[in-house]
Structure 1
């Protein structure tokens, strides 16, 4: 018997979970958590109620009474029912991930499944997925939203990264390193500064900076449009100390 088109905004499934914490029935843990003042532990779910015939039964993929399939995909660890999204259960992560599995690998140091093109091609930060997204402050490890790995190794939700780029932000909210290759932007800034000379009284003025990208400490020419790191060429810098006037020339 075909599955009925029941479910919620989060999942397509034909059953409701019996919450082990309060005994109430909800389509999913997210629906439960949005209504209750506590969280549903997905791993402790033992019973479900069929959305077609209302039979309460042990959690399983197919209704024992009317043969409705509760979900095209079912995990008996996470008690996840949903339409087929090429999901797979990652044992080290402890939860199900959206696949296909062959396009992902589990990074043991980051403690997260990442796209295969990042294998041996990303900076590892130990247990980085166990931190909240620094933009929205929501959990990353168990989120249904994919994670984006920054060059510094820190993680953001993919949607948060996209929003950050739209607003013009280009630095990691945690360590302030550039979040993507800024070479073309720095070249444009070079041109703009070259076309906008400072007033005569400031042309020989310098200032001390620290570069957020390479961590170099430099003394560079002062310009209101940007302070360029003399080590790596980045404008992702921060000034410390006041302006340093050029020494007077005796005539």
Structure 2
């Protein structure tokens, strides 16, 4: 019996039918693809659930290559596009919407096996679940055994159960003993020998920095600030180098988890918690500044109008 059930966010990509504009009307949608997007995680749950209520602009229809994964299309757009999505008509866009379902795994991974800790000889669905419950960390590179969740067969680390032939995950790394079944559409993986671990991303769009001891996107590599220890997220204080969550470098140089940054923006906190500099970047920076200008005009000029009205009334 499988006792490992988690909640997984699925993402659906759609475009509008000809001569329609309302993206909220499901009858107007033509669905292009859907895939497992990410696991509902306790650290990000609040933001993840809020995002599920939103239909997002995804990518331009023009230039979208359906023979590539969604991740690859996003990387191509990021590296080559010289325009923003808000300039496109509704019929020129792809949109994304999410829903929740249940699969096999934990709050960190979708996978069909447990891993054994060589220290305590206990099986856990992942190293994070182990570390949250034990007084020591699981040395993942030393893992010697997997146990199938479905048939309970104990075996050497592998991608497919040698007893019942269930595939544990779409990605398997024999060096890291990593298994993941989210899939390459939203989360491709590759092993970097220099980093000494698996990274999320496409190797052709990544470049390793020997000073930092980690990989960066090729687009951001030139502008990144080298540091021998990237340290902690400035919000949650979790170590960044071996975190399963992505992080970004703010214009001020401080590092923050992507989901922690999203949380700040959602609460309209636009300053770096450390140096108080303005944090939004790129398109989100333009959007925030535009909305702030609108709010300023509405509040400031509205207040002047109110004062004029009060003055006029008092004078009469």
TM-score, normalised with respect to structure 1: 0.64
In structure 2, relative to structure 1, the CA distance for the partners of 1:38 and 1:56 (3 Å cut) is same
CA distance in structure 2 between the partners assigned to 1:139 and 1:12 by the alignment? 22
More helix per residue? 2
Q: 1:107 aligns with which of 209, 213, 228?
A: 209
C-alpha RMSD over aligned residues: 2.8
**Other-structure match for 2:260:** 160
Distance in 1 (CA, whole Å) between partners of 2:253 and 2:193 is 23
Q: Which range moves more in the overlay, 108-117 or 13-22? A: 108-117
- Check conservation: 1:125, 1:154, Cα contact below 8 A: no
Is 1:45 the counterpart of 2:146 in the alignment?
no
Q: Which runs of 5+ in 1 are unaligned?
A: 196-251
Displacement after TM superposition at 1:180 (Å): 4.1
Q: Deviations over 1:15-47 (max 9, x none)?
A: 111111211111111121222232212111111
Q: Does structure 1 retain, via aligned residues, the 8 Å contact 2:207–2:218? A: yes
1:136 corresponds in structure 2 to: 236
1:16–1:51 CA contact under 8 A, matched in 2: yes
Give the secondary structure class of the aligned counterpart of 1:20.
Answer: coil
Pairwise mapping of residues 1-251 of structure 1 onto structure 2 (< 5 A)?
6-83=104-181, 84-85=183-184, 86-120=188-222, 122-129=223-230, 131-180=231-280
Deviates more, 1:93-102 or 1:41-50: 93-102
| Structure 1 residue 155, shift from structure 2 partner | 1.0
Deviation at 1:168, TM superposition (A): 3.5
Question: Separation in 2 of the partners of 1:67 and 1:180?
Answer: 47
Equivalents in 1 of 2:192, 2:108: separation in Å? 20
Distance of 1:134 and 1:72 partners within structure 2: 33
Which structure is larger by alpha-carbon Rg, 1 or 2?
Answer: 1
Whole-Å separation in 1 of the counterparts to 2:107 and 2:253: 32
TM-score by length of 2: 0.52
**Bigger Cα displacement from structure 2, 71-80 vs 33-42:** 33-42
CA–CA separation in structure 1 for the residues paired with 2:271 and 2:213: 23
Number of residue-to-residue matches in the alignment: 186
Q: Which runs of 5+ in 2 are unaligned?
A: 1-102, 301-316
Relative contact order (C-alpha < 8 Å, sep 6+): which is higher?
A: 2
CA displacement at 1:149 relative to structure 2: 1.0
Q: What is the Cα deviation at residue 159 of structure 1? A: 1.0
Question: 1:123·1:151 contact (CA, 8 Å) conserved in 2?
Answer: no
Per the TM alignment, residue 128 of structure 1 is displaced from its structure 2 partner at its CA by: 4.5
Residue 143 of structure 1 and its aligned partner are, at CA, apart by 1.2
SS of 1:16 mapped into structure 2: strand
Cα displacement (A) at 1:165:
2.4
Task: Classify the secondary structure of the residue corresponding to 2:208.
Answer: strand
Deviations 1:208-238 (A, max 9, x none): xxxxxxxxxxxxxxxxxxxxxxxxxxxxxxx
Tell me, yes or no, if the aligned pair for 2:234 and 2:254 is still in contact at 8 Å: no
